[in-house]
Amino acid sequence: MANIKLSANKLDELREVCKSFNNEKGELINVLHKAQGIFGYLPAEVQEVIARELNVSVAHVYGVVTFYSFFTMLPKGEHPVSICLGTACYVRGAEKVIEEFKRILNINVGETTPDGKFSLACLRCVGACGLAPVVLVGEKVFGRVSPDGVKDIIAEYAK
Amino acid sequence: METIKLKIDNKVVEVAKGTTILKAAREAGIHIPTLCYLHLHDLNIENKPAGCRVCVVEVEGRRNLAPACVTECTEGMVVNTHNIRVLNSRKTVLELILSDHPTDCLICAKNGNCELQSMAQEFGIRKIHYEGEQSTYREDTSPAIIRDIDKCIMCRRCEMMCNDVQTVGVLSAVNRGFMSVVAPAFEMNLDHSVCTYCGQCVAVCPTGALTEVDHTNSVIRALADPTKTVVVQAAPAVRAALGEEFGLEAGTLVTGKMAAALRRLGFDYVFDTDFAADLTIMEEGTELLDRITRHLNGDKNVPLPILTSCCPGWVNFFEHQFPEMMDIPSTARSPQQMFGAIAKTYFADKIGVKRENLVVVSIMPCLAKKYECQRDEFATDGNPDVDFSISTRELAHLIKQSNIEFNELPDEDFDHPMGESTGAGVIFGTTGGVIEAACRTAYELFTGKKLQKIAFEELRGMEYIREATIDFNGLPIKIGIAHGLGNARKLLQDIKDGKSEFHAIEIMACPGGCIGGGGQPLHHGDSSVIKARQKAIYAEDAGKTIRKSHENPYIIKLYDEFLGKPLSEKSHHLLHTHYFDKSKEIKTVE
């Protein structure tokens, strides 16, 4: 018999979330959304618990998690980096900025560095189009980022 | 009933409100090709995700073509099923599917039996105009089923079978866009999932994406090895379906030809799983009576109902999903395993062959049997009671490979002693059969009277969940029957909730029972095939001189010479088993 391991208070919190949605199957996306808020990501154990609480198959939960780009099964880094791919940022070269982050951090979008410091994600428009291309690290906004400026941003957090 | 009039290909058609264009066309004798669509109407199973778009038709006044499988007819609708726009679109759709599909048809397990291949042939596809990347995914091999997802066309039939019909919940569409595949949770391999190996996904897969693990080569090697004595057993449902692989009409019984073919393949002893089915009845029927008697005498520790345990898909299901109910199924092994245990002890001694030199092969309508015979508890010092289990389809391949003209074969008998069986053994192959066989024996043993009527019509049929009460000389015995794991779940849940009270329940994992098993010739969506096989099984039973397991002379002899009596110590050791909790438990950690 295999076991699913979770800490007791996290498990209670997760069950509470499911309960707040009346353990309804149709609320799966909302439950996952809240759960990711609690854990920062959606590890297999969390999906197993949610599947049981909502009485759906784990495969189905995993199907939903992998379908929506918002959900992630990897823990976010200490400094989550998000690059805006909205139209303004895109035409001003956001893609090259992404490439540079990927090159320096040696990870792909959606991944976290092995030391847990940085994770890389894309988002659509933060409403600062005048500053395009825009990069967010945690809550902090960096504007008019050029590929050359990427190493300085990383250096600022790498300490 | 409210009806609607519409025109399909200039033909005026009148159908019930809510009818789809596809159904209306079929009723009018107009063929619209389909690929992802599947409808097993006798079993009430339907898959219509409108995913493949092969069934598109033109509806006048509508801008886009409509998928016929999900578009409902409306009053005055004018439908064209094969004008140039429709034909071109279908061809494009098919070419696009093929552009992301391997073209290794010649060496594919489904070669000649693939719905995509037939459709490419039907449409006259000679060139694929779309070049581009092809999706690739690792191959997943389990003890019974192989997933080769590169060949998947996302028809979602397997998903529908696994989730809606069987409620096992292993398969789901995961990932997105070009990366999407049908896979178990976390894309783990099947053998790490809660898969029961019922094989219903394989039974409906239109392509080679889901196939059985093929053991025919191992069988050929064993047959060619002069140091081995090779014994074969064939399950009851095989004889009612094997003929289909040789062009015979569904429901043609080929018992005699099958025995002849097995002999020509070189098996040293051609035996019958039906013999072991009779043995199962002796053990399970006695266990049933024992439990009921003790229960009636006030021993409340005796759990009722007793559930049948012949079906390995069902055993896997409750080990994973109902571990708290593991004490209610009978402890009797399945006929396949009883056969193996007796063959490698009693029979091996009789012919003076050492266990390790005796190879037992089983021909099964089932894929879960492949897993069952590999279970550790069914081996002695690493030597399994049943060495290889091959499906009805694999046997057909073996016969074709060996230059045997199946249809020209004479009818031959099985060998003795393990080839003798009764009508009760035969009906194990269909839903309702195991419990009817048990009733025939249990009634006579319990009441000491002869049955007036051997056939228990009240236990027969195709309804998913059936109930009947059998009068055991004034004692009403309540029987439940479920086929299809989703229905088994319903019945189990009712028992758990204390909503239903039965003395005995028969469960078979596959819709229809073993006749609809995952290893049978493919029905390609025609459920009348399964009905025809059921009819054949009952016909074989009716034609038997002996129809009650306890009257099988070789079974009587087996108890006299070797086992003693049912539920004896020897029987327990060789013919009974125990179950394992395979569920996952949620544990908290600091």
Confidence of residue B44 (pLDDT cuts 50, 70, 90): confident
Which domains are present in chain B?
Answer: 3-98 (3.10.20.740), 100-126+136-212 (3.30.70.20), 216-575 (3.40.50.1780)
What CATH architecture does domain A79-158 belong to? Answer: 3-Layer(aba) Sandwich (3.40)
Q: Is the pLDDT score of B399 beyond 90?
A: yes
- pLDDT tens string B435-455: 999 999 999 999 999 999 999
pLDDT (0 to 100) of residue B590:
62
Interface residue of B160, B166, B174 to substitute, partner A, most A CBs within 10 Å: B174
Q: Is B582 on the interface with A (CB under 8 A)?
A: yes
- pLDDT tens string B308-339: 999 999 999 999 999 998 999 999 999 999 99
The structural domains of chain A, with segments of one domain joined by +, span 8-67, 79-158
Which of B172, B184, B584 shows the shortest C-beta gap to A48? B584
CA distances from A75 to A30, A41, A116, A136 (A): 19, 5, 8, 17
Interface residue of A52, A60, A65 to substitute, partner B, most B CBs within 10 Å: A60
DSSP 8-state secondary structure symbol assigned to residue B409: P
Confidence of residue B93 (pLDDT cuts 50, 70, 90): very high
Q: In terms of CA atoms, which chain A residue is nearest residue B180?
A: A67
Q: Is A15 on the interface with B (CB under 8 A)?
A: no
Q: ipTM, 2 decimals?
A: 0.91
- The fraction of chain B above a pLDDT of 90, given in percent, is 92
Q: Strand pairing partners for A99?
A: none
CA distance A142 to chain B (A): 31
User: Going along B99-148, which residue ranges are E strands?
Assistant: 140-141, 145-147
CA distance A84 to chain B (A): 21
* Alpha helix positions (H), B210-334: 216-224, 255-265, 273-296, 312-321
Quote the mean pLDDT of chain B: 95
Q: Is B173 on the interface with A (CB under 8 A)?
A: yes
Q: Is A55 on the interface with B (CB under 8 A)?
A: no
CA distance A158 to chain B (A): 31
- pLDDT tens string A15-57: 999 999 999 999 999 999 999 988 889 999 999 999 999 999 9
CA distance B183 to chain A (A): 8
Stronger pLDDT, A7 or B212, i.e. the higher one: B212
CA dihedral sign of residues A33, A38, A43, A44: negative
Determine whether the interchain pair B172/A60 forms a contact, defined as Cβ–Cβ distance below 8 Å: yes
User: Which tokens sit at B465?
Assistant: 């969940």
Which residues of chain A lie closer than 8 angstroms to B590, CB-CB? Answer: 7
pLDDT (0 to 100) of residue B181:
96
pLDDT (0 to 100) of residue B40:
87
Q: Is the pLDDT score of B584 beyond 80?
A: yes
Question: B59-68, B326-335, B557-566, B580-589: which range is least confident on average?
Answer: B580-589
Q: Is A126 on the interface with B (CB under 8 A)?
A: no
Spans in chain A with pLDDT lower than 50: 1
CA distances from B403 to B234, B252, B254, B481 (A): 20, 22, 18, 42
Largest CA distance in chain A: 57
Kindly list the catalytic residues of B. Answer: 284, 287, 310, 330, 369, 372, 377, 514
Q: Is the pLDDT score of B574 beyond 90?
A: yes
Q: What is the mean pLDDT of residues B543-561?
A: 97
Residues B242, B244: Cα–Cα separation, whole Å: 5
pLDDT (0 to 100) of residue B495:
87
- pLDDT tens string B285-301: 999 999 999 988 988 88
